[in-house]
Amino acid sequence: MLNNMTPTFIALIISMSLCVLAVLGDSFIKQASLKIGFTGWKWLLAGMAVYFFGSMGWFFVLRKVKLFTAGVWYAVGSVVLVTLASVFIFKEKISLLEIFAIFLAIASLVILYRFA
């Protein structure tokens, strides 16, 4: 199966992996924001470090894939993963409208991958 993967497909898989990395960074920064004053500075630095490594990954992904294509995958993946982190890690509530928007975002990914 790995032999049949195109460079574009591999780049999109890496893009989604970078999305996971970015959500990890987002979670670190959210954790920092929950601390009183500036006591969460270690979480903030961890988030910044994760963002840095994600940026290095983008450099390689964008050599193989159009910015638009990678960006849509990244954006939709971020929406889904940030929502999961919000609900399961930070115990935040999401509305029915937000759930509907997530389904539309996923549908856009399916359409983009099928016809782009």
How far apart, in whole angstroms, are the C-alpha atoms of residue 82 and residue 109?
Answer: 16
Q: What is the pLDDT of residue 85?
A: 93
Q: Give residue 28's identity as a one-letter amino acid code.
A: F
Residue 28 has a CB neighbour count (10 Å cut-off) of: 21
The percentage of the chain sitting over the pLDDT mark of 90, rounded to a whole number, equals 49
How far apart, in whole angstroms, are the C-alpha atoms of residue 113 and residue 28?
Answer: 31
Q: What is the pLDDT of residues 76-112, one digit of tens each?
A: 888 889 999 999 999 999 999 999 988 998 888 788 7
Q: What is the pLDDT of residue 106?
A: 85
Q: Give residue 84's identity as a one-letter amino acid code.
A: L
Q: What is the pLDDT of residues 51-68, one digit of tens each?
A: 999 999 989 888 888 888
The percentage of the chain sitting over the pLDDT mark of 70, rounded to a whole number, equals 96
How far apart, in whole angstroms, are the C-alpha atoms of residue 42 and residue 103?
Answer: 35
Nearest 10 degrees: CA dihedral of 88, 89, 90, 95?
-20
* Average per-residue pLDDT for the chain: 88
Residue 63 has a CB neighbour count (10 Å cut-off) of: 9
